[in-house]
Structure 1
Amino acid sequence: MRNQTTALQCALLACTLAGAHAQALDVRVAAQETLEPKWIHDGERLSGICPDVMAAIERIEPRLHFTGFHRASRSLSAIETGLDTGALDAACGLVSSPRRLAIGQPVGKPLYPVRHHLAVRRNDPVTIESEADLARLGDLVTTQRSPVFTERLREAGVRIDDATDDNRVNVRKILAGHGRFAYVNDLTLRYLIRTEGWQDRVRVLPVVLGDEPTYFWVGHKADPALAPLLGAALDKLKASGELDRIYARWSDAP
C-alpha cells in the first residue's frame, strides 16, 4: 500500500512539474516574406491568416505566447534554417517536405489547403493539363523559390525563373512579357488579382498542379512541451470550425 501511495505521489509530482513547465511558453516565430494573405505587411501593421491563427491559439491556450514575428520577415529558406538551428521554435502554414521532416514536425490538424495554379495574360488562349505539357511547350514559368513545388517543375523539365520570392513581381513579369506563365498558390493568386485590379489582365488556368495541406510546424530543438500544447490547441480550433472561418475570411479578403 505504501509503495502504491509513493508511486501515486511521484506521478502527481511529475504532472505538477510538467504543468508548471508548460505554464508559459514564448514561441519564436518569423513572418514569411511576400506571401499574402498568409502574411500581410502594411507598414508596422501585420495581419493575415497566420496572425489570426496565432491569436486564436493564444485565446484557447494561454500558456502559449507567439513572439518575434512582428520584428522582421524572412524568406522561406531562412525560416527553415531558423527551425534547424533552434533560432525559431515554430513556423506557420508550411506543407510537408523531406527537409522539413528532418528539422521539425507538423502538429495538429491542417490549417488550410494550398493549391497551385498557372496564371497567364488574359488574351493568351493556351491550355495546360499537366507539368509535362509545360515542359513540352518550353515557355518560361515565373515562380517563387520553393523546395517543394518549384523543384517538382524543374524535375519535370520546366523552364523556371525563381529569381524572386515576390509573387506580385512574378505576375507582373508575365504581364510585361517576361515569361508566359506564373506559378502561384490559389489563395495568393486570388488575393493579388483582387487587390491589384488584374481581373481584365490575368487569366487563371483551371489545372491544379499541386494540392497539399499546410500545417503548423515545431522544430526538433524547441521545448518538448510545445508540440503537444500547440497540437491540442489546433485540434480544438479545427473542431470548433475556427480554422475554416479564418481561411474563408481571408480567401475573400479585398
Structure 2
Amino acid sequence: STVAAHLPFEVRCTLATDDATVGASADASCPAPLVKKVHFIRHGEGLHNVAQREWRAHADWDGQSEPYTLKTDPELRYLDAELTAKGTEQAQALRARTAQLLVELVIVSPMRRATQTALLAFETRGRPPFLASELLHETGGRHTCDRRLSKTQLADLYPEIDYSLIADEDDPLWGDGASREEPLETAMRAARFVEWLATRPETTLAVATHSGFLLALFNSVLSGADSAAMSWFATGEMRSVVLTFIPK
C-alpha cells in the first residue's frame, strides 16, 4: 500500500499459535531479519458498543447518526467509554491464554477500555510492564467515546501504567470535536507504530487497542496477512501473529 511504502522495511505478518516461539537464525554469517511475536487484543465490549447497537435498532434511525457525537451526547456520557460487565468478562476470559505467554511488555492504547482490558487480561503474578502509546489510539475525533481522558486523570486511575510516552495532556486527536480522523491518517499512525515497534528490544509483546486501528494496521501496513488475519476483530479477541521486518 502507499502507507507501507513509507516504511524502511516490509513487515510480513503470519498468524501464529500462542505458544509459537521466535528466535535468532542458526546461521550467524547470514543475519536474520528482525522477528517479533505480537499478541494483538481488541478491547472487550464497551458502553459505547452497546449504545450504538441500541441506537441503530430504533425504527427511526436515519442510517447515519451515532449516539456519541457532541450533538447526541452533549453531556459526554460516553467520554472515553469504559467496559461493560460483559466486556470485563471478555477481558478476564483471556487470562487462561495470557498466563501461558512469555510476554515481555504490554503496550496499551491510553483509552480506558483498552487499558482496562489489558490490565484484566494480564492480572497474574509476575505481570509484565505496561506502557501506553498514543499511536494505538482509536480513530480519533467526533465520537465522544473516542476522546480520551487527560494524561493526569489516566495516570491517577492506572498507576501501574507507564505514561511517559504520552506527550499531550489532552487528547491530540479530538480537535474541535466536529471532524473525524481520516482512514489514511489512521493508517499512517499505524505505520508509525510498527516503525517504533521495530526499535523496541522486546521480541514477545502484547498490544491492547481498537478495531479501527487494527483494521488499518492489518490491511494497510502489514503484508502477507491472510484474510483471517485481516478480518475485523471481535470485542475481547486476541490474535497472535509473527511479524518479520525485512529491510527494503
Say yes or no: TM over 0.5: no
Q: Could you say which structure has the higher strand fraction?
A: 1
Return the index of the structure with the highest Cα Rg.
1
Give the TM-score normalised by the residue count of structure 2: 0.22
Q: Could you say which structure has the higher helix fraction?
A: 1
Give the TM-score normalised by the residue count of structure 1: 0.22
